[in-house]
Every structure is written in structure tokens, then in C-alpha cells.
Amino acid sequence: MSTRYKNLIGGEWVDAVSGRTFQDVNPADREDILGEFPRSGAEDVGRAVEAAQEAFKSWRLTPAPKRGEIIFRAGEILVKRKEELARLMTLEMGKVLKETRGDVQEGIDTAYYMAGEGRRLFGHHVPCELPNKFGVAMRVPVGVVAAITPWNFPLAIPTWKLFPALVCGNTVVFKPAEDTPLLAHRLVEILFESGLPPGVVNLIHGLGAEAGAALVRHPSVALVSFTGSTEVGREVATVCAQTGKKVSLEMGGKNAILVMDDAPLELAVDGAIWGAFGTSGQRCTAASRVIVHEGVLGPFTSQFVERARHLRLGSGLEETTDVGPVINETQLSRVHEYTEVGRKEGATLLTGGEVATEGRLGKGFFYKPTIFTDVEPTMRIAQEEIFGPSVAVLRARSLEEAVEICNNTAYGLSSAIYTRDVNRAFRAIQDLSTGITYVNASTIGAEVQFPFGGVRQTGNGHREGGWTVLDIMTEWKTVYVDYSGRLQRAQIDV
């Protein structure tokens, strides 16, 4: 019998009020049930928000350096448990061990970076126009933060939201994806082991349409920080606009690698393989398009396909595995539906395009790495986010055409260019309309000390990571101190 887990509300582990549960399934083996989790609803969410409101009264007054020390201790625990958490993550969401180790490391990096912000949280002292008057702008916490996270980075992305929120003095109601509740449970345990007071973080499990929707709509939530699909993100934004909440959205991507005719070809193929098929293509930064100069289209494509055909599918716990499963049956069907779309649109399928059912692969949700060529920029497989191991190769006659193709989607998260020409590289940096650009590296590999996010339908202008996340996790408060001893009127008595 699988372990039954609970919500955490006000420091107490409790079942959902309804008593209903859902199962956490290993995507590499659908018969392997990792646990049962509460299927929470609006009443559970209400209790969690109330607990967060109560805890906010004292947590916001805890000195920021002390808040940072708790996050630092959490980072130290993550270091000690890195391998344990990585193996658990591979079981729960499927990606291979080298990637889940990287996911945990990203959480560690975020902990150390954000712990330091406890002794910074810089404001601004600006000269005043009147004599004997002092002015400063300072950061203050926003209140209760709803952190709604996806399944593809089940530890890293929650740390992107929780750690800065907590260092800034906010309290949190954390609603993880229903496909990866166990890593969320472990992260919250680590935070309280690190000394976090009861109620500062509250964990609510459940389905997005039930627990997630109730959390977004709750009137006492001050900020919704959401990472997920563009479709759901639009709904979140609409509700937040109607209720006056702050909202930070990190949504979809249709990222492209540009391969120029002077590119280091072997390196470009390495980058395309990693960008397209790392995490089975289930990254918002995945390279789902490769735009290749016609001068090297033939040799690049043949090398790319040959490498893809030799990628080994299997359990991510096996060190020989290159590509793990996709997350669930629904996603498996979605990826295959896009294969059929590509065929109908007239693209040429060079490899893959099938559900993998050989041997033990039939027990999980495996899809063969898929490459299309003869893809036109307006085709759906070149415009829509597939979120699986499927990539479209497109032809370009020049850098300018490649940039135009890259920019011509609804998304704008990550881009990359492979070239030996520094002038081309800098023109691409200037003209590619994405939040992130790599030169001679793939579209994935962001570091925590830099802003992360995109433009257009990838997000709503806010950034996670680095110093910029503090701007959504805090409010600015301007303070004037007049020590002249008389009435002074700004803009009048000058």
C-alpha cells in the first residue's frame, strides 16, 4: 500500500476536508504508485490562506538577515540530501539522474543567492529638493503569496518562488503540480527543519482546476506567482486583474537555435540534441525549432538525425539512459497528436514519431525522439508549444531571415545562435526578440543570479531569478523625514 501524505496548514499535517485523494504515479512505470495526496478544494485553501495571514503578522517583523539564515540552512540540507532528492525526482517526474541532480543543484544555488539578499534587499536614498529633508525608498513585503508551480522542475522552480518570497518577509501558500507532489512535500519538510515558523509556508495539494483556481481567487492572496501553460496563465491573469492582485506569469516558449553557415557544426548538433531532447523536451526553454542556414542544412540535418536515432530511452535511474518518459498519458497523447499535425501539414518526418512500447518502455509514457524537416515557419509544429521530444528543422537563406523566423511566434523566451562571426553574434543579440539569448550554446542552461523570463505570451513582464525577482515579491514604500521644524511644500517652496 502506498504512503498517504497530507497538506500542511498552520504547522499541522492535515487531510483534505473532503477526504478525497489522488495518486502520484511514476511516469516510467504506471504501476508504481509513489503515494496518495489530498485532493484539496476551496475550504482547504481558505484555511491555508488564513494560516498564512496570521503568520505574516510576526514573520514580516523578523529581521531579514534572520529570514535569510533560515534559507541558507535549507540550502545546506539540500546539499546533504542532493542524491536522495535527485533519485526521488527521477522516480516522480522521469528525467534522467544527471538532470535531476542539476534540478536540486539549482535549488541549492537559489538558497545561497537568496540567503544573501537577507543582508541586502537594497532600497534607494535619493536627495530631496528641500533643505533639512531626508528621502528613502525601501522594500516591504506584499503579504500572502500564492506559489503555483509546474512538474518539470519540481524542486528548482518552487525554490525560485518560495525562497525570495520568504526572504522578503512574505508568507506563502504553495500549490505544486499534481504530477509532482512528493518533491514539494520534501522541500517543505526541509524548510521547517531549517527553522521556519509554523504557518509561514502552507502546502496545499490538489488539482489545478480545484485547489489552484480557488487559491488564485482567494481575496486575501496579495500576489499570485504562476509558472505553467500560456492558456492557464491567461486565466490566472484575468482573475488577478478582476480582483486587483499582483501577478507574475512564466508561461510557454517556442524557442529556436539558429545555425549559421560558419557554425562549429559538431557543437551546434550537440546543442540541438541537448536543447530538443533534454528533459524529453519538457522545458519551457526547450529548443523545439532549429533554423539552419541553407549552406549547412544537409550536413547538419544528417548529423542531427543520426545522433537522435541513437538516443537511449528508459528509466532515468539507469545511468545509460539518455531520454526518460514524458510526464503522463495526456502529454504522451498530445505529443503524438502534433506528430500527426506535422504529417498533415506536409512536413517530412525523419525519425521518431511513435510511442515507444518495446519491452519495459511499454509500462511507461515514452515517446521516440522526433525530428521534422521541410517545415514552413507558419506550420503549427513551428508555432505551437508541443512540450515533448519533438523538433522542427527550418531552412533560412541568411541571418536576417533566420532572425525573422525566430521572432515570428507568439512566444519569446529563449534563443541561441551558433556562429564563428562576432559581428553576426552581436546582430543576433540585438535583433532576437527573446528574454534570453545564448551564443554558441543551447537554449537551456539559465543561472540563478540572472533574470529569467520572456516577452510576448511567454510572460507578463516580470522576471524570476537574480535581483529582479525582488521587484514582484516586494512593494516599494517611499519615506520622507522632514527635520526642518517648519512646513515645507514640495514643488512650491523651492
Residue 135: strand pairing partners:
480
Residue 436: strand pairing partners:
414
Angle value at C-alpha 175, between 172 and 180, nearest 5 degrees? 135
CB atoms within 10 A of CB 119: 12
Among candidate residues 174, 173, 171, 170, the one with its CA nearest the CA of residue 141 = 170
* C-alpha cell of residue 451: 533574470
What distance in Å separates the CA atoms of residue 101 and residue 401, rounded to the nearest whole number? 38
CA distances from 60 to 54, 144, 166, 191, 405 (A): 11, 11, 9, 17, 48
SS3 state of residue 203: strand
284 is catalytic: yes
What distance in Å separates the CA atoms of residue 18 and residue 320, rounded to the nearest whole number? 44
Going across the sheet that includes 144-148, the strands are 12-14, 7-9, 201-203, 171-175, 144-148, 223-227, 246-250
What distance in Å separates the CA atoms of residue 222 and residue 245, rounded to the nearest whole number? 5
* DSSP per-residue letters across 116-157: HHTT----EE---SSTTEEEEEEEEE-SEEEEE--SSSTTHH
* C-alpha cell of residue 401: 531571415
Q: Residues 284, 385, 406, 464: which is the catalytic one?
A: 284
Q: Give the DSSP H or E segment for 351.
A: strand 348-351
C-alpha 271, offset from chain centre: 20
* C-alpha cell of residue 413: 523566451
What distance in Å separates the CA atoms of residue 454 and residue 413, rounded to the nearest whole number? 4
Residue 456: strand pairing partners:
411
Q: Are 104 and 86 in contact (CB under 8 A)?
A: yes
What distance in Å separates the CA atoms of residue 268 and residue 271, rounded to the nearest whole number? 5
Q: Residues 178, 250, 385, 464: which is the catalytic one?
A: 250
**Alpha carbon distance, N-terminus to C-terminus of the chain:** 77
What distance in Å separates the CA atoms of residue 176 and residue 208, rounded to the nearest whole number? 9
306 is catalytic: no
Catalytic residues: 250, 284
